[in-house]
A and B are shown apart, each in its own frame.
Chain A
C-alpha cells in the first residue's frame, strides 16, 4: 500500500510542470491522426516522435511519446471502422463490428463509442498500472517459455474460431502467416531461411507491408468485385457523443475486457492485439442475446475490443518498466526513448528515488483522461470518408496503401510485397480463407518459434517431456485445456460429447 501511495505522490510532480500537459496533448493529437491513417502505425508514429524528441529533456520527451502511444492505439480504430483497414494490429477486432456499423450508416456512433470505451479502458489500465504493477510483474515472471508459446497459439486459434467460417481454412491462414514470419535470418543460428540470397529478405518481410496489402489492397479488390452491390450509405452524424446507454450500458463487458487487456498486455511479448481478440471472444461467449449479432455491428464487440486494447497500454508498460521487457513493438520504442534519456528500467525502477515510475504512471493516466476531448474531435470529417463513392474511395485506399507501405521503411521492395500480399489476400478472401489469422500468425511467429525452441531445449529435446510439462504445470495445463476446448468446439466434438452426457 505504501508503494502505491509513494508512486501516486511522486506522480503528482507532473503538475509542477504544467507544460507537460501540453506535451501530452500534442502527442495525443499527433498519435491519433497518425494512427488513423492506414499504413501509419502506432509504432511508426512513436518512432517519429522519439526521433523528434531525442534532444529534449526526459519528461517532455516521455510525455509526448506516451501521449502519442495512447492516441495512436485509439486512432487505429478509426481506419478499422471506416475503411476496414486496422491502423494498428490492436484494432483488428474493432473492424469486426465497427466496419459493419459504418456500412449501416452508423460510423459516427461507432467512433463515438470507441472514443468513450477507449478512455474508460485506458483509465482502468492506468489505475491497474499504479496498483498492480508489482503483483502482475511477479505473476508474469511465473510464465515459462511453453506458456508464452501456448498463449500465442491460443491467440491465433481464438481469432480463427471467432472469425467464423471453416476452422481448417482459418488455421491454414494462421500457419501461412507463421511461415511468412520465419522468412529471413534465424535469430539464434543466423541461418538464412527462404531468403534466396536476397538482402532485403534477410530481415524478413516488413509486417507493415503485409498488413497493408492484406487488409487495404485485397479488401479494395474484393469490393471492386461486387462494386454494384456496395452501396454508399449516408452516415448519421446527428449524434456523435454516445448516449448514456452506449457509453455505460455495457459496463460488465467494459470492465471485463479492460481487465483482460491489462493482464494480457502485461505479459511480455503480447500486446493489445491478443488482448482485444481474447476480450472480443469472451464478450461474444458471455453476451447471450446481443441486439445485433457479433460480426454484424454488435456494440458489445466494439466495446470489448476498444476498452481492452487501450487498457493493454497500461498493462504493456508494466513489463517494460519493471522487467525491462517491452510488451509490444510500440513499447520497445518507448523503452529505447527511456534508455536514450538515461532511465534504467527493471525491478529497481519502482523503488528508485527520483520517482520516475510515479511520473510515468501519471503521464499514462493523464494521456487517457485527455483522450476523451481529443478523441471526439474530427469524427464528422472522418465519418464522411465512408460517404465517398466507392469508385473514388477504393483507388484512394490503394494509393494510401502504397504510401503507407513505402513510408514505413522508405523501401520500394515493401511496396512490391504489399502488392503481392494484396493479390494473395484477394484470392484467400474470395475462397473464404480469413486473413486476420494470417496477419496474427505472422506477428506472433517469432514469439511462437523462440518459445517453442526454448521449451524444447529445456525439455532436453524430448517432445514427450514437453507435453508432460504442458499437462503437469497448472498454468500450462489451463492454457492447453483452452486450446483443446477451442479445437473440440470447432469440430463439433464438444456438442456431441454434451449430447452423449445428457443422454447417459
Chain B
C-alpha cells in the first residue's frame, strides 16, 4: 500500500467519523425538540380537522338523512379530530423532555426547532422540487428535468466539482430514457 493510499484511507476514516458525529447530533436534536415539534404538529392537525369538520357538519345538516352526502365526511373528520385529540393527550402525558433546556433566546429556540424539522438539505431540495414542478408548464419537461437533476445531484454531493460531468450525464440520460420509453413507446407526450 502506498503512502497516498494510506493518506486516502485516513482521510476517509476522519470523514466517516465526522459524518457519524453529525448524524448523532441530528438524532440528539430530534430528541431534544421532539416534544415541541410533536405538540405543534398535532395542534396544526387538530386545527385542520376542525376546519374540515365544520363544513362537513354543515353539509350534513342541509339534508340530514342516512343517505346524505355530508354524513361520511362528518364521521371521517370527527375520527380525525378524535385520533388527534387522543395523540395529544398521550403526548402531554409523557413526563420527560417536555421543554428545550437551552440557554438561548426564544427566537434561537424557534430557529433550532425549525431547522430540526426541515434540515437545510431538505429545505433546499423541497424548494427545488416545488420550483421544478411549477416550471414544467413554463419551460417544458425536458429542460426543467435537465436543470433540476443537474442542480440536485451537484447540491447533494455538496458542490463537489468532480461530480459535475456525472450529474450532466445522468440528466441527459434521464431525459433520453423518458423520451424513448414514455414519449415514443407509451405515446404519452410530456409537457
Contacts and interface: CB of A to CB of B under 8 A. Distances in A.
B184 to A, nearest CB: 13
A385 interface: no
Contacts of A407: 182, 186, 188
Interface string A419-450: 10011001100110000000000000000110
A166 B38 CA distance: 13
A404 to B, nearest CB: 9
Nearest to B59: A193
A459 B67 CA distance: 11
B188 A410 contact: yes
B80 A191 contact: no
Contacts of B86: 168
Interface in B38-72: 38, 41, 45, 52, 55, 59, 63, 65-72
B176 interface: no
Contacts of A240: none
Nearest to B80: A175
A169 interface: yes
B69 A229 contact: no
Contacts of B72: 178, 182, 448-449, 452-453
Interface stretch (A324-332, A352-360, A395-403): A395-403
A166 B182 contact: no
Nearest to A427: B41
Contact of A48 (B55, B87, B117, B186): B186
A412 interface: yes
B189 to A, nearest CB: 8
Contacts of A448: 72
A182 B121 contact: no
Interface in A399-417: 399, 402-403, 406-407, 410, 412, 415-416
Contacts of B26: 226
Contacts of B136: 402, 412, 415
B166 interface: yes
A399 B71 contact: no
B37 A431 contact: yes
A374 interface: no
B191 interface: yes
B182 A228 contact: no
Contact of B133 (A168, A172, A226, A416): A416
B79 A226 contact: no
Given A403-B178, A461-B65, A419 B59 contact: no
B174 to A, nearest CB: 6
25 contacts: A168-B86, A168-B90, A171-B83, A172-B79, A172-B80, A175-B83, A182-B73, A188-B67, A189-B67, A189-B68, A224-B122, A226-B23, A392-B153, A392-B166, A392-B167, A395-B148, A395-B153, A396-B149, A398-B148, A403-B182, A406-B191, A412-B136, A426-B126, A456-B71, A457-B66
Interface of A: 40, 48, 166, 168-169, 171-172, 175-176, 178-179, 182, 186, 188-189, 191, 193-194, 217, 221, 224-229, 390-392, 394-396, 398-399, 402-403, 406-407, 410, 412, 415-416, 418-419, 422-423, 426-427, 430-431, 448-449, 452-453, 456-457, 459, 461
Closest 8 pairs (CB-CB, A-B) = A456-B66, A395-B152, A391-B156, A172-B83, A461-B66, A175-B79, A186-B69, A191-B69
